[in-house]
């Protein structure tokens, strides 16, 4: 199931590419006309001015409350969310754990920390490229330096660093929490009850999810509330670029790292006929580090970026498309109120779900580990939907003089919220341990070996991509139809009705509405995976008189066989939910990209008043752009796979030469760290190669032709969507 990380390389590269294109060098390709007529003024979001949210003469809510007062409540919610995350952090740290398991989890953490520090240094090298583009484009091409607006250029640079810092901070928090949780989960399993084996990984996931979303919300609300309106645009654009760069590097390099380690470790069990997590294999620690690098560091930074960039895109769109300052304020406050409410909904749903699960499984001798996780996702989505309609009715009951817009906008954003529940259930059909497709893969492997195994996985991947496409059509189609019922009345760009663009943006916004829970079930996987490895690597069963020692020190009787059984079952559930969370992130990226592409087209065609014939297959540059975008996706797939192949070869070469099976219980720490170093080096080499090609392709195509560029973006979105879904679910099966 771990092979599904490959799809995330596509997702993050695409996310970074779209952010880079939309928020900076895009304007290099724009014509002289702007979306509203007249000479086009470049600079994009850096020129946007946020209205005064505290001025009740512009807009007020619920009988005279200012927008800033309402959003101040959001700051409190964000701080409480961070407090919740830290509270769980301290709880996990204080949980009992045997020394043998603690030593392994701390070794995994140390290697993860070394990996992350190395990655941060690498990201700063990449930031030099991005910083150069920012300085050139805003400082010289847009004449900010000559016009005395140098401060705005440096604000963009500074906030790009803040975005990177945010991505790296949540990545560190993720690995620290997960490496607390993995050893505690392994130790709790020794009691012979399944519930703690489930509860600890989910608690860790909620800690990460709440901390991540709350930090993001705090930063964005801080910009809206405390930064002067004419400086908010540069803050947002810099922040979006920085967090996108950080997430791209951590996700792509993390994916390459973990597959190098995975292959290096797994091949040894075949070559030397040893068990999967044999403590004598120096590749196992690297594999555990990779589980965190690929499935904790990557998703944490990924969720941070996706949550932020979709918000920035919607803020920008509202300020561009809506001309009435009162409606601008109402929509800005509304979209952030939705996020605030959904953070609360996620927390409330978690506590309700835990109470139900504990009552049902607290003293049980067996449990279906997937059932309470599924229940949490569904419960959170339902609570979020109810809260969406209730709060919308209070905040925007008569938006633009239309008393029906509050429920229409609620339906649109609900399409995204429901995706967070519908998509995981759909993906389970192809990736759950109980699904027919996975059982077919198992049977194929048993009866036909590797060949039938691969073919069965490819079959599941192809079918899943089709059905995922149908779900996206249904959700986006529903939002489009609702948007045509009067939403465009409050936002016009010349003769063009941009309501569909806004609707798609709201769907993307809603995809991660219940972000804490989405991140939690995704983070559940690396903890359960590592917990099984920690158990084996600790060789706790071989410690003399261990049962008596645990009974004396911790007060319970050890049940080794039940512990191993529960850890293995829970690992299967974790792998399933890792697989179900990935398409949600993929869908968010693609729906958000669609919004960005539509916005770019509106600008290039001056509100669809000119050059519309160039957005056509009959216009050769546009057609060639489609071909170029598709080809880049396949180049990217090949480049990332080549990086894994080369790195895995080097890792296997080292492990085979240094593994010692006779006379030792564990591999040396030095050998284990060397494998981690090999994985890191080749992950960074692969990432740097990918970055250079995408970076310079982006700039080159932006300079070449505007409509070639649009075709290129559309192809990347469409080809990337189905390639990513196919790879994720083929591997997940």
The residue to which tokens 């990332």 are assigned: 640
Biggest CA-to-CA distance, the chain: 83
Q: What is the pLDDT of residues 230-277, one digit of tens each?
A: 899 899 989 989 998 998 888 888 889 988 998 888 888 888 888 878
Q: How many CB atoms lie within 10 A of CB 293?
A: 33
Is position 548 within any domain? Answer: no
pLDDT above 70: residue 24: no
pLDDT above 90: residue 222: yes
What's the number of domains the chain is made of?
1
Mean pLDDT of 146-170: 94
Q: What is the pLDDT of residues 327-337, one digit of tens each?
A: 999 999 999 99
Mean pLDDT of 643-659: 92
Residues above pLDDT 70, as percent of the chain: 93
Q: What is the pLDDT of residues 168-180, one digit of tens each?
A: 999 999 999 999 9
Q: Which residues contact 277 (CB under 8 A, 6 or more apart)?
A: 284, 532, 533, 535, 536, 537
Q: Assess contact for 214 and 584: CB atoms under 8 A.
A: no
Q: Work out whether the CA dihedral 193, 199, 204, 205 comes out positive or negative.
A: positive
Q: Given this model, what pLDDT does residue 515 score?
A: 87
The pTM of the whole model exceeds 0.95: no
Which residues are registered as beta bridge partners of 33? 39
The residue to which tokens 């961070």 are assigned: 82
Nearest CA-CA partner of 11 in 19, 625, 242: 19
Alpha-carbon distance 705 to 36, whole Å? 21
**DSSP assignment, residue 539?**
T
Quote the crossing angle between the two packed helices 405-431 and 499-511, to the nearest 10°. Answer: 50
Mean pLDDT for all residues in the chain: 87
Q: What is the pLDDT of residues 538-571, one digit of tens each?
A: 999 999 999 999 999 999 999 999 999 999 999 9
Alpha-carbon distance 733 to 721, whole Å? 18
Mean pLDDT of 686-694: 90
**For residue 50, which phi and psi values (nearest 5 degrees)?**
-80, 130
Within 39-157, strands assigned E span: none
Quote the crossing angle between the two packed helices 150-189 and 99-134, to the nearest 10°. Answer: 160
Quote the crossing angle between the two packed helices 560-604 and 436-483, to the nearest 10°. Answer: 30
pLDDT above 90: residue 125: yes
pLDDT above 90: residue 109: yes
Alpha-carbon distance 236 to 23, whole Å? 10
Quote the crossing angle between the two packed helices 370-395 and 325-361, to the nearest 10°. Answer: 150
Within 276-325, strands assigned E span: none
Alpha-carbon distance 610 to 728, whole Å? 40
Is position 125 within any domain? Answer: yes
Q: What is the pLDDT of residues 480-508, one digit of tens each?
A: 999 999 898 888 766 778 888 899 989 98
Residue 398's Cβ-count burial label (10 Å; 0-12, 13-18, 19+) is exposed
Which segment of 2-11, 377-386, 655-664 scores lowest on mean pLDDT?
2-11
The residue to which tokens 């705005």 are assigned: 152
* ∠ CA 427-10-297, rounded to 5°: 80
Q: Given this model, what pLDDT does residue 319 score?
A: 86
SS3 20: helix
pLDDT band at 32 (very low <50, low <70, confident <90, very high): very low
What region, left, alpha or beta, does residue 608 occupy, with left being phi > 0 and alpha being psi -120 to 50 degrees? left
Is position 565 within any domain? Answer: yes
Q: Which residues contact 284 (CB under 8 A, 6 or more apart)?
A: 265, 277, 278, 533, 536, 537, 667, 672
Please report, to the nearest 10 degrees, the dihedral formed by the alpha carbons of residues 26, 36, 398, 405 taken in order: -60
Please report, to the nearest 10 degrees, the dihedral formed by the alpha carbons of residues 262, 263, 264, 268 taken in order: 110
Is position 127 within any domain? Answer: yes
Q: Given this model, what pLDDT does residue 341 score?
A: 95
Q: Given this model, what pLDDT does residue 42 score?
A: 52
Q: Assess contact for 85 and 224: CB atoms under 8 A.
A: no
Instruction: Report which of residues 298 and 124 the model is more confident about.
Output: 124
Nearest CA-CA partner of 81 in 378, 519, 395: 519
Alpha-carbon distance 257 to 265, whole Å? 12
Which segment of 478-487, 517-526, 607-616, 716-725 scores lowest on mean pLDDT?
607-616
Which segment of 43-47, 120-124, 140-144, 706-710 scores lowest on mean pLDDT?
43-47
pLDDT above 90: residue 467: yes
Q: Work out whether the CA dihedral 681, 685, 686, 690 comes out positive or negative.
A: positive
Q: Which residues contact 470 (CB under 8 A, 6 or more apart)?
A: none
Q: Given this model, what pLDDT does residue 300 score?
A: 79
Nearest CA-CA partner of 380 in 515, 210, 207, 198: 515
Is position 359 within any domain? Answer: yes
Is position 647 within any domain? Answer: yes
Q: Given this model, what pLDDT does residue 494 score?
A: 66
Q: Work out whether the CA dihedral 190, 196, 202, 205 comes out positive or negative.
A: negative
pLDDT above 60: residue 23: no
Is position 437 within any domain? Answer: yes
Q: Given this model, what pLDDT does residue 100 score?
A: 95
Q: Which residues contact 511 (CB under 8 A, 6 or more apart)?
A: 310, 416, 417, 419, 420, 584, 587, 588, 591
Q: What is the pLDDT of residues 64-99, one digit of tens each?
A: 899 999 999 999 999 999 999 999 999 999 999 999
* ∠ CA 271-263-429, rounded to 5°: 115
Domain limits at 688?
2-541+553-732
């Amino acid at each position: 199931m771990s092979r599904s990380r490959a799809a995330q390389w596509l997702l993050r590269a695409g996310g970074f590419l779209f952010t880079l294109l939309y928020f900076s060098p895009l304007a290099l390709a724009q014509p002289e006309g702007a979306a509203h007529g007249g000479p086009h003024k470049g600079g994009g979001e850096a020129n946007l001015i946020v209205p005064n949210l505290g001025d009740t003469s512009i807009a007020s809510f619920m009988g005279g409350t200012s927008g800033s007062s309402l959003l101040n409540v959001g700051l409190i919610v964000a701080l409480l969310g961070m407090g919740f995350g830290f509270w769980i952090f301290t709880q996990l740290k204080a949980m009992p754990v045997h020394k043998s398991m603690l030593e392994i989890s701390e070794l995994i953490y140390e290697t993860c920390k070394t990996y992350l520090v190395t990655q941060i240094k690498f990201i700063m090298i990449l930031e030099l490229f991005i910083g150069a583009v920012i300085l050139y484009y805003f400082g010289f091409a847009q004449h900010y330096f000559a016009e005395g607006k140098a401060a705005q250029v440096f604000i963009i640079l500074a906030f790009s660093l803040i975005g990177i810092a945010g991505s790296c901070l949540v990545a560190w928090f993720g690995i620290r929490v997960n490496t607390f949780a993995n050893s505690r989960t392994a130790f709790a399993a020794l009691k012979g009850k399944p519930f703690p084996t489930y509860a600890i990984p989910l608690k860790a996931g909620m800690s990460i999810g709440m901390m991540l979303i709350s930090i993001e919300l705090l930063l964005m609300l801080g910009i809206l509330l405390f930064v002067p309106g004419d400086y908010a645009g540069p803050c947002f654009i810099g922040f979006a670029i920085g967090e996108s760069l950080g997430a791209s590097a951590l996700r792509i390099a993390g994916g390459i790292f973990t597959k190098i380690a995975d292959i290096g470790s797994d091949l040894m069990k075949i070559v030397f006929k040893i068990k999967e997590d044999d403590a004598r294999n120096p590749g196992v620690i690297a594999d555990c580090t990779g589980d965190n690098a690929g499935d904790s560091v990557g998703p944490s930074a990924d969720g941070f970026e996706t949550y932020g960039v979709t918000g920035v895109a919607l803020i920008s769109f509202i300020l561009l498309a809506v001309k009435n300052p009162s409606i601008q304020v109402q929509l800005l406050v509304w979209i952030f109120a939705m996020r605030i409410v959904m953070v609360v909904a996620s927390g409330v749903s978690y506590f309700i779900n835990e109470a139900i699960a504990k009552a049902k499984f607290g003293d049980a001798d067996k449990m279906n580990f997937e059932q309470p996780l599924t229940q949490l996702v569904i419960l959170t989505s339902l609570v979020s939907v109810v809260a969406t309609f209730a709060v919308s009715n209070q905040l925007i009951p008569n938006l633009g003089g239309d008393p029906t817009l509050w429920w229409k906008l609620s339906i649109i954003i609900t399409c995204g919220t429901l995706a967070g529940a519908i998509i995981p259930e759909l993906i389970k059909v192809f990736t759950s341990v109980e699904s027919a497709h996975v059982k077919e893969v198992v049977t194929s492997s048993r009866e036909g070996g590797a060949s039938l195994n691969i073919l069965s996985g490819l079959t599941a991947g192809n079918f899943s991509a089709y059905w995922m496409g149908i779900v996206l059509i249904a959700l986006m189609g529903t939002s489009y139809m609702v948007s045509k019922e009067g939403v465009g009345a409050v936002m016009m760009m010349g003769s063009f009705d941009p309501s569909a663009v806004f609707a798609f943006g709201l769907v993307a916004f809603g995809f991660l509405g219940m972000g804490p829970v989405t991140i939690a079930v995704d983070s559940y996987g690396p903890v359960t995976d590592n917990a099984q490895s920690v158990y084996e690597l600790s060789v706790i069963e071989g410690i003399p008189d261990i049962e008596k020692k645990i009974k004396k020190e911790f007060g319970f009787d050890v049940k080794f066989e039940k512990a191993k059984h529960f850890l293995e079952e829970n690992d299967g559930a974790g792998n399933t939910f890792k697989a179900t969370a990935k398409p949600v992130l993929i869908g968010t990226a693609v729906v958000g990209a669609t919004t960005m592409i539509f916005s770019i087209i509106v600008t290039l065609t001056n509100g669809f008043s000119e050059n519309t014939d160039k957005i056509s297959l009959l216009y050769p540059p546009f057609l060639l752009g489609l071909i170029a975008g598709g080809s880049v996706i396949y180049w990217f797939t090949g480049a990332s796979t080549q990086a894994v192949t080369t790195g895995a070869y080097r890792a296997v070469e080292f492990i085979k030469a240094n593994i010692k099976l006779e006379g030792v219980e564990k591999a040396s720490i030095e050998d284990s760290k060397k494998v981690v170093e090999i994985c890191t080096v080749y992950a960074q080499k692969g990432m740097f190669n990918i970055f250079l090609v995408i970076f310079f392709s982006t700039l080159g195509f932006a300079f070449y032709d505007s409509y070639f560029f649009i075709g290129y973006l559309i192809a990347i979105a469409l080809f990337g969507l189905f390639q990513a879904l196919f790879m994720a679910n083929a591997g997940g099966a």
